[in-house]
Amino acid sequence: MQKIDLIIKNGLLLTFDKEPKISSIAINDGKIIEIGKSEHLEKKYIPTKTLDAEGKIVMPGFVNTHTHAGMIYFKGMADDLPLMDWLSNHIWPAEGHFLSADFVRDAALHGCAEMIKNGITTFNDMYFFGDEVAKSAQKVGIRAVLGEVVLDFSVANCHNADAILAYSAMMHSKYKEDELIDIAVAAHAIYTCSKETLIKSAELAQKLGMILHIHLSETRQEVKDCLTKFGMRPVEYLDSLGFFQSPVLAAHAIWLDENEENILAKKNASIAINTSSNLKLASGFDSFATYLEKGINLSLGTDGVASNNNLSMLEEISLTSKLQKALNDDPTILPAHQMVEIATLGGAKALGKDKEIGSIQIGKKADLITIDITNLEAQPMYNPFSHLVYTLTSESIKDVIVNGKIVMQDRKLINVDESELIDKAKFYREKIIAFRNGKD
Ligand SMILES: [Zn+2]
CA atoms within 13 A on the CB side of 172: 19
| Ligand 1 midpoint to CA 427 (Å) | 25
Instruction: Report pLDDT for 154.
Output: 83
CATH of the domain at 35: 2.30.40.10
Q: Are residues 25 and 171 in the same domain?
A: no
Amino acid at 133: V
| Ligand 1 midpoint to CA 367 (Å) | 24
CATH of the domain at 285: 3.20.20.140
Examine residue 257 and state whether it is found in any structural domain, yes or no.
yes
| Ligand 1 midpoint to CA 288 (Å) | 19
| CA–CA distance, 62 with 393 (Å, rounded to integer) | 14
Examine residue 295 and state whether it is found in any structural domain, yes or no.
yes
Q: Are residues 274 and 398 in the same domain?
A: no
Cβ count near 408 (within 10 Å): 25
Helix axes 130-140, 101-117, angle to 10 degrees: 40
| Ligand 1 midpoint to CA 89 (Å) | 17
| Ligand 1 midpoint to CA 347 (Å) | 16
| CA–CA distance, 118 with 316 (Å, rounded to integer) | 11
| Ligand 1 midpoint to CA 390 (Å) | 26
| Ligand 1 midpoint to CA 55 (Å) | 36
Examine residue 439 and state whether it is found in any structural domain, yes or no.
no
| Ligand 1 midpoint to CA 207 (Å) | 25
Out of 302, 320, 350, pick the residue that ends a domain. 350
| Ligand 1 midpoint to CA 374 (Å) | 36
Out of 302, 322, 350, pick the residue that ends a domain. 350
Residue 411's φ and ψ, nearest 5 degrees, are 70, 5
Q: Are residues 279 and 385 in the same domain?
A: no
Q: Are residues 100 and 159 in the same domain?
A: yes
Examine residue 94 and state whether it is found in any structural domain, yes or no.
yes
| CA–CA distance, 187 with 193 (Å, rounded to integer) | 7
Q: Coil, strand, or helix at residue 415?
A: coil
Q: Are residues 336 and 393 in the same domain?
A: no
Instruction: Report pLDDT for 87.
Output: 87
Cβ contact 66:274 at 8 Å: yes
| Ligand 1 midpoint to CA 40 (Å) | 46
Q: Are residues 50 and 75 in the same domain?
A: no
Q: Coil, strand, or helix at residue 2?
A: strand
Q: Are residues 259 and 371 in the same domain?
A: no
Examine residue 361 and state whether it is found in any structural domain, yes or no.
no
Cβ contact 148:164 at 8 Å: yes
Cβ contact 186:147 at 8 Å: yes
Q: Are residues 307 and 374 in the same domain?
A: no
Q: Which domain holds residue 134?
A: 62-350
| Ligand 1 midpoint to CA 15 (Å) | 30
Helices (H), 73-194: 83-86, 92-98, 101-117, 130-140, 161-174
What pTM does this model have?
0.97
Q: Are residues 265 and 132 in the same domain?
A: yes
| Ligand 1 midpoint to CA 189 (Å) | 10
Q: Are residues 31 and 71 in the same domain?
A: no
Q: Are residues 385 and 372 in the same domain?
A: yes
| CA–CA distance, 125 with 69 (Å, rounded to integer) | 7
| Ligand 1 midpoint to CA 376 (Å) | 36
Q: Are residues 53 and 72 in the same domain?
A: no
Instruction: Report pLDDT for 440.
Output: 63
Instruction: Report pLDDT for 243.
Output: 97
* Total domains present in the chain: 2
| CA–CA distance, 169 with 270 (Å, rounded to integer) | 23
pLDDT, averaged in runs of 10, over the chain (440 residues)? 97 93 97 97 97 98 98 95 88 93 98 98 97 98 98 87 96 98 98 97 98 96 97 98 97 96 97 94 87 96 93 98 96 97 98 98 98 97 98 98 98 98 98 88
Closest CA to 268 of 251, 247, 290: 247
Examine residue 150 and state whether it is found in any structural domain, yes or no.
yes
- For ligand 1, a single-atom ion, the residues with CB < 5 A are 303
| Ligand 1 midpoint to CA 218 (Å) | 9
| CA–CA distance, 149 with 181 (Å, rounded to integer) | 16
